[in-house]
Structure 1
Amino acid sequence: MSEAFYTDKSRVRAAFERAAPSYDSAAVLQREVSDRMAARLDYIKFSPKVILDAGSGTGYGSAELRRRYPEARVIELDLAATMLLASREKQQTGGGLLGKLFKRAQPWQLCADVECLPLADASVDMIWSNLAIQWVNIPDGVFAEFQRVLKPEGMLMFSTLGPDTLFELRQSFAGVDGATHVNQFIDMHDLGDALLKSGFAEPVMDMDKIVLTYPRVRDVMQDLKAIGAHNATAGRGRGLMGKHSWQKVEAAYELRRQDGALPATYEVVYGHAWKGETKKKANLLPDGRQVIEFMKPGERPGVK
Structure 2
Amino acid sequence: MSAGFVDRQQVGRRFSKVAASYGEADFFVREVDRRMQERLDYVKIEPKRILDLGCSRGGSFPGLAARYPAAELIGLDVAPAMLDTGHVSRAGWQRWLGLGKASGPQRLAADAAKLPLKAKSAALVWSNLLLHWLDDPLPALAEAHRVLEVGGLLMFSTLGPDSLKELRTAFSDGYAHTQRFIDMHDLGDMLVGCGFADPVMDMEVITLTYDDLDALFAELRAAGSGCAMKARRHGLTGRGSLAGARAAYETMRRDGKLPVTFEVVYGHAWKTEAKQTPDGRAIVRFDPPRRK
Using the size of structure 1 for normalisation, the TM-score is 0.85
- Matches of residues 88-237 of structure 1 in structure 2 within 5 Å? 88-89=87-88, 96=95, 105-173=103-171, 175=172, 177-237=173-233
Query: What is aligned with 2:84?
Result: 85
Structure 2: 5+ residue stretches without partners = 276-292
Do the aligned partners of 2:11 and 2:133 also contact (CA within 8 Å) in 1?
yes
Change in 2 beyond 3 A, CA 1:238/1:106: same
Q: Quote the sequence identity (%).
A: 47
* Alpha-carbon distance in structure 1 between the residues aligned to 2:210 and 2:37: 27
Query: What is aligned with 1:284?
Result: none
Do the aligned partners of 2:72 and 2:105 also contact (CA within 8 Å) in 1?
no
Query: What is aligned with 1:14?
Result: 13
Change in 2 beyond 3 A, CA 1:43/1:101: closer
| Higher alpha-carbon Rg | 2
**Aligned with 1:182: secondary structure?**
coil
Query: What is aligned with 2:58?
Result: 59
**Aligned with 2:20: secondary structure?**
helix
Change in 2 beyond 3 A, CA 1:83/1:178: same
Q: CA deviation at 1:137?
A: 2.1
Query: What is aligned with 1:39?
Result: 38
Q: CA deviation at 1:247?
A: 1.1
**Alignment coverage as a number of residue pairs:** 275
Q: CA deviation at 1:139?
A: 2.0
Q: CA deviation at 1:22?
A: 2.5
* Alpha-carbon distance in structure 2 between the residues aligned to 1:228 and 1:185: 17
Do the aligned partners of 1:3 and 1:234 also contact (CA within 8 Å) in 2?
no
Using the size of structure 2 for normalisation, the TM-score is 0.88
**Aligned with 1:30: secondary structure?**
helix
Q: CA deviation at 1:130?
A: 0.3
Q: 2:272 aligns with which of 256, 276, 287?
A: 276
* Alpha-carbon distance in structure 1 between the residues aligned to 2:34 and 2:274: 28
Query: What is aligned with 1:250?
Result: 246
Pairwise CA RMSD: 2.3
* Alpha-carbon distance in structure 2 between the residues aligned to 1:193 and 1:215: 39
Q: CA deviation at 1:59?
A: 1.3
* Alpha-carbon distance in structure 2 between the residues aligned to 1:180 and 1:131: 20
Do the aligned partners of 1:93 and 1:99 also contact (CA within 8 Å) in 2?
no
Change in 2 beyond 3 A, CA 1:100/1:46: closer
The one-letter code matched in structure 2 to 1:178 is G
Query: Quick check: 123-132 or 14-23, which moved more?
Result: 14-23
Query: What is aligned with 2:72?
Result: 73
Structure 1: 5+ residue stretches without partners = 280-304
**Aligned with 2:205: secondary structure?**
strand
Change in 2 beyond 3 A, CA 1:101/1:148: same
* Alpha-carbon distance in structure 2 between the residues aligned to 1:195 and 1:100: 35
Q: CA deviation at 1:157?
A: 0.3
**Aligned with 1:23: secondary structure?**
helix
Could you report, residue by residue, the CA deviation over 1:246-275 in whole angstroms, capped at 9, with x for unpaired residues? 111111111111122111110000000001
Change in 2 beyond 3 A, CA 1:84/1:264: same
Higher relative contact order (CA 8 A, sep 6+): 1
**Aligned with 1:233: secondary structure?**
coil
Do the aligned partners of 2:66 and 2:97 also contact (CA within 8 Å) in 1?
no
* Alpha-carbon distance in structure 2 between the residues aligned to 1:116 and 1:48: 22
